[in-house]
Amino acid sequence: MNDLARNFEVYESVGGAVVRPVLRHLPSISVIGLGYVGAVSTACLAKLGHAVVGCDVDEIKAGQIARGESPIHEKDLGDLLSLGVEAGLVSATTEVADAVADSDMTFVSVGTPTSPDGGCDYRYVISAAREIGKGIARKEAYHLVVMRCSIPPGTTLNVMVPEIEAASGLKMGEDFGVCFNPEFLREGTAIADFDNPPKTVIGANDEHAAKMLANVYAPVDPEAIVTSIEVAEMVKYVDNVWHATKVSFGNEVGRICKPIGIDSHKVMDIFVQDTQLNLSPYYLKPGFAYGGSCLPKEVRAVAHLADKLGVSTPLIESLGVTNAQQIQSAVDMLREEGSERVGFLGLAFKSGTDDLRESPVLEVVNAMLSDGRDVRAWDPAINAETRISNQFDYVRHIYPHLEPVVDALPTMLSSSPLAVLDQADVVVVTQSTEAIRKAVAARLGRARIIDLVRLFPEVPDADGYTGIGW
């Protein structure tokens, strides 16, 4: 027996002795849409021991699956489908509502093409939802619907669920459950990715639905990440946009390296060996703009080098633009507050240093001073004796507009974070330190806080608190 066939032998063990095959106690699954994701899901779910019926309005696709043939070119998929059919676990139909009515849960993997306006075309999602509604209307038992398509956040609850409810007369959370379960299958290695997923994300609004789906994936990933449906929807988009960003960044590095005779692959081979910063969660949490003596000037330097070489690097060139926009967002938030007394907790570009060179905070401070606001600030590393003007010689030719900040900074310094919180009408948090966290926590609900760094893991439910990206 080969390895693929062995996966279809599912047995129950009692007291260490294998006594009988068990297949039927696992939930049966209908899969709507037999394209790339749907065909792979049908085969792999059957491999886990589920009876799976693939559904597609395309008779050719449905016929291929029913015969154990792969409708796409994908390593091992044809073999798995053939074994699934032989084991009586894989079938296919064009009658979607019938398949839904006869199964315990439904996976939706229909196409979500780009609409003429550049958004998402929901026609196949809506069609699938209506068929699901017709199917579950014929059932008495709870049914789980698992959405796997790439869709904008809010689509599952605002587009799909209303269609299911309208077609069935049933209520989500009572008669049926809904999850969003993004797939991370790479073409060419999809079977291996299903068996060894980088992560399993389950978006659910009720515990029963989440548990049902987690049990399905337990053989390949017993530690599924459970979150809200909207977060799970966004995760899929973020993953793919990040992958596109990585490809584009690597290509721009290559475009710069080639005309100066540097092997870009040798550069990037070294680059990816750093898993503390380069390939890690570091720098990837939304917050305030980057600054300091390195990042701004070296982004400018690389963009300048590319320009001298006649190389187009729109991704690298856009970094300064998007960074400036993040600074402007903080300024806009403060202006919307309209407070005359503004406080800042943190002035240096990061905590643990007195380095004010290209600190994005100072741009916000300067905007407030230009507006005629009364500004107070605290930073544990900065005092009246800090050699501020010397630091600004470094960038004076780039940011001459910050000269007023250099002059005003010594007089705006306060003695403690609590003093700033008590002296200002609204306080901007720019550093995440224990001293700042404790001070803000002590004033939550009483002080107006604009948090640029995410002081608390969970967003405080307190009047007057807002974050820049949450």
Kind and range of the H or E run holding 388: helix 388-392
Instruction: Supply the pLDDT for residue 317.
Output: 95
Residue 162, pLDDT > 60, answer yes
Say how far residue 369 (Cα) sits from the centre of its chain.
Answer: 37
Instruction: Supply the pLDDT for residue 397.
Output: 60
DSSP-H helix ranges across 147-228: 155, 161-168, 190-195, 207-217
Percent of the chain with pLDDT over 90: 79
Residue 17, pLDDT > 60, answer no
DSSP 158: I
**What distances in angstroms separate CA 157 from CA 182, 234, 248, 313, 346, one per listed residue?**
15, 13, 33, 39, 40
**Phi and psi, residue 88, nearest 5°:** 75, 20
**Is 11 in a helix, a strand, or coil?**
strand
Instruction: Supply the pLDDT for residue 277.
Output: 93
In angstroms, the CA 46 to CA 83 distance is 9
Residue 8, pLDDT > 90, answer no
CATH 3.40.50.720 fits 3-227, yes or no: yes
The pTM for the full model equals 0.85
How would residue 16 be classed by pLDDT, with cut points 50, 70 and 90? very low
Instruction: Supply the pLDDT for residue 249.
Output: 94
Instruction: Supply the pLDDT for residue 393.
Output: 65
- Per residue, the 3-state secondary structure of 203-223, as one string, reads EECCHHHHHHHHHHHCCCCCC
pLDDT tens profile 113-149: 888 888 889 999 999 999 999 999 999 999 999 999 9
Instruction: Supply the pLDDT for residue 336.
Output: 95
How would residue 6 be classed by pLDDT, with cut points 50, 70 and 90? low
Instruction: Supply the pLDDT for residue 280.
Output: 92
Q: In the structure encoding, which two tokens stand for residue 147, read together? A: 């959405």
Instruction: Supply the pLDDT for residue 114.
Output: 86
Angle at 159 between CA 156 and CA 161, to 5 degrees: 65
- The arrangement of strands across the sheet holding 374-378 comes to 374-378, 341-345, 426-429, 448-451, 465-467
For the beta carbon of residue 246, count every other beta carbon within 10 angstroms. 11
Instruction: Supply the pLDDT for residue 184.
Output: 92
Residue 395, pLDDT > 70, answer no
26 neighbors 48 (Cβ within 8 angstroms) = yes
Residues 231-260: what's their mean pLDDT?
94
pLDDT tens profile 309-368: 999 999 999 999 999 999 999 999 999 999 999 999 999 999 988 888 889 999 999 999
DSSP 27: P
Name residue, tokens 């279809």: 8
- In words, the CATH class of domain 295-467 is alpha beta
Residue 243, pLDDT > 60, answer yes
Instruction: Supply the pLDDT for residue 219.
Output: 96
Q: What are 203's strand-pairing partners?
A: 180, 227
Catalytic positions are 294
Residues 17-27: what's their mean pLDDT?
54
Residues 458-468: what's their mean pLDDT?
94
Lowest-confidence segment of 213-227, 248-262, 288-302, 427-441 by average pLDDT: 288-302
